[in-house]
Structure 1
């Protein structure tokens, strides 16, 4: 059985005024996921999440303003035989986003609608069930 590698990432749940969740698709990939990415050396998970959010979608939230949601292990969306260990935060308030850096496309996900089949495993297996449960 091949060994699975693990990549540490930070990600952020961002909502708009309609309560939709922001998802992004990076260039050269086909799965939508949270904005986020790998921490740089010496960065905390919150610092990485804050930096990635600004770089990828132009949303500026200070690291101390991000609310921790949890830490999950999930299959990486775009890398074979790889898992991600994701520290996920929620950004306070409501936002607009604009794709930049390596982001090819953004999509706001209506929490009430059926979810598309092009979402990353972290979203489908962990975050969406958690958010749906908290709404009921």
Structure 2
């Protein structure tokens, strides 16, 4: 009978210890979940603030570009009115237009960009160059 009581007490003690450990692990899981939920909420609010800042930046940039275009148009119109009012020599205006067209064409010609060239050393002009897909590959002799 004493053995039965000792076994019951040992089982009770083991059960209490197991219950305490299981209870603590459940609490740490719920605490961890709450912390993670809090971090997710903070990240969401930070992301929302970031989106608002980006939106504000691009709206302000668009407004500034519109103002820049308006100022450029005003300056261009001012210069055109001044040229019409102050320059009465038609020959001079025609010559100015010709120089402007010539300068525009010259700047297009001398842009500094050229198509890629094939710099492979060739002894025969019919040979393949380095830009050819099969350059350096030997043809298999069909026998």
Tell which structure's C-alpha radius of gyration is larger: 2
- Greater relative contact order (Cα < 8 A, sep 6+): 1
Q: Going by fraction, where is helix more abundant, 1 or 2?
A: 2
Pick the TM interval, shorter chain.
Answer: under 0.3
Q: Going by fraction, where is strand more abundant, 1 or 2?
A: 1
Q: Normalising to structure 2: TM-score of the pair?
A: 0.15
Q: Normalising to structure 1: TM-score of the pair?
A: 0.16
